[in-house]
């Protein structure tokens, strides 16, 4: 049987004036003592009080009183039955009521956040690209496997459907057609009769949408067969039946590392109307000389330009719109490619990302003859 998750609840008070730490402690002590909790108090001159309360069942509370008027309550218990959750909520309710009685409206802010569940079977917490914590409405682990390249999770969200998560990064949900459309040019391109190269894209979303547009041939290069296997079974709203076979009337899927493939195509002189890079977002790091992902991105860009027709277009994701330094640095890298290029960018709301996402269109600069 899986261990119960730990439930971490918080209650914060920002007072309208400095705090009488001793008076607050004496006012709140009975609430914890009524629960049969053992008390330990630490007192620092000019730095307030920390009182810890421990129950025989292992649950505990911390009461931190800062002299400048910040009072914090942290409560941790096991989320193994309804009674335990109700007891925790009741204790926090009593603390809130007592504080309001004590200060008679001289509280600037009271904040109680939803409890965080730690160590549960289902992990609902995934950070955004710019480091904010998001709690998803995940209710089922659909798929969880380790490939030779990465951890692959597909989790079910009540809002977004199944979500593909690769090594901790939210990649794509069944709700995220906006992502696929943006990385294909937002409906402004005519793929009819065109040669298209997709780098990555193992969820099958881009391939599925492009095949509908009557291209001449689409070549998708995906290194991880297990991503394809998981998505063709559990992400069919995204990929349809396009991943059921690695070859179709107007497409082929190569299970290979894209770098040797790009080098081979460049050597052969094979050219594409569109190259779509769905491999990785722009790195968060702003130190290209220290981050190998930047080196990888530059290599992909250079090789892609070598197989892109003179009037072709290269599409890729950038990153979260808030990561302005990283995006600016990416744009600087574009000026260092073997051939001069120009670019445009578009910002799109991708539902499951819960943040605005930047997409790039890059093309070779036309030289006057």
Active site residues: 278
Burial letters 331-354, b for 16+ CB under 10 A, else e: eeebeebeeebeeeeeebebbbbe
CB atoms within 10 A of CB 64: 17
CA 165 to chain centre: 8
Answer whether 134's CB lies under 8 Å from 126's CB.
yes
Locate tokens 């129950």: which residue?
Answer: 55
Packing angle of the helix pair 292-307, 258-268 (nearest 10 deg)? 30
Report phi then psi at 332, rounded to 5. -65, -35
- Number of Cβ within 10 Å of residue 283's Cβ equals 19
Residue (of 276, 296, 279) closest to 288 by Cα position: 296
Question: Which of 220, 364, 363 has its CA nearest to residue 278?
Answer: 220
CA distance 61 to 51: 8
E strands present in the chain: 6-15, 38-44, 48-54, 60-65, 70-78, 107-111, 116-118, 125-127, 133-135, 138-146, 151-157, 161-166, 169-173, 195-200, 217-221, 251-254, 272-278, 308-320, 341-350, 355-364
Whole-angstrom CA distances from 175 to 85, 226, 291 are 33, 22, 32
Cα 180 from Cα 154, distance rounded (Å): 18
Q: Are 19 and 68 in contact (CB under 8 A)?
A: yes
In three-state secondary structure terms, 162 is: strand
Question: d(Cα 369, Cα 356) in Å, to the nearest integer?
Answer: 40
């Amino acid at each position: 049987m899986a261990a119960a998750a730990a439930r971490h609840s918080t209650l914060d008070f920002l007072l309208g004036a400095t705090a009488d730490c001793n008076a607050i402690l004496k006012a709140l002590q009975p609430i914890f003592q009524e629960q049969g909790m053992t008390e330990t108090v630490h007192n620092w001159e000019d730095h307030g009080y920390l009182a810890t309360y421990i129950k025989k069942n292992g649950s505990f509370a911390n009461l931190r009183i800062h002299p400048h008027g910040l009072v914090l309550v942290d409560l941790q218990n096991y989320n193994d039955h309804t009674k335990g959750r109700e007891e925790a909520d009741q204790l926090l309710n009593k603390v809130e009521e007592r504080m309001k009685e004590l200060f008679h409206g001289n509280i600037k802010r009271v904040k109680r956040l939803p409890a965080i569940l730690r160590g549960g079977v289902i992990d609902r917490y995934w950070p955004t690209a710019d480091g904010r914590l998001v709690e998803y409405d995940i209710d089922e682990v659909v798929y969880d496997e380790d490939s030779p390249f990465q951890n692959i999770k597909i989790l079910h969200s009540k809002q977004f459907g199944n979500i593909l998560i690769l090594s901790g990064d939210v990649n794509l949900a069944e709700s995220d057609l906006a992502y696929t459309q943006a990385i294909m040019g937002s409906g402004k391109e005519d793929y009819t009769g065109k040669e298209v190269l997709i780098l990555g894209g193992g969820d099958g979303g881009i391939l599925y949408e492009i095949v509908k547009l009557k291209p001449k041939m689409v070549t998708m290069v995906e290194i991880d067969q297990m991503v394809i296997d998981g998505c063709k079974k559990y992400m069919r709203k995204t990929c349809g039946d396009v991943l059921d076979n690695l070859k179709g009337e107007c497409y082929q899927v190569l299970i290979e590392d894209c770098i040797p493939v790009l080098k081979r195509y460049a050597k052969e002189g094979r050219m594409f109307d569109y190259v779509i890079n769905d491999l990785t977002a722009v790195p968060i790091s702003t130190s290209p000389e220290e981050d190998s992902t930047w080196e990888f991105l530059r290599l992909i860009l250079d090789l892609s330009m070598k197989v892109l027709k003179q009037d072709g277009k290269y599409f890729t994701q950038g990153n979260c719109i808030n990561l302005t330094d990283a995006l600016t640095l990416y744009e600087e890298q574009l000026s260092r490619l073997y051939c001069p290029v120009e670019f445009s960018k578009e910002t799109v709301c991708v539902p499951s990302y819960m943040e605005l996402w930047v997409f790039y269109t890059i093309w070779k600069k036309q030289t006057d003859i």
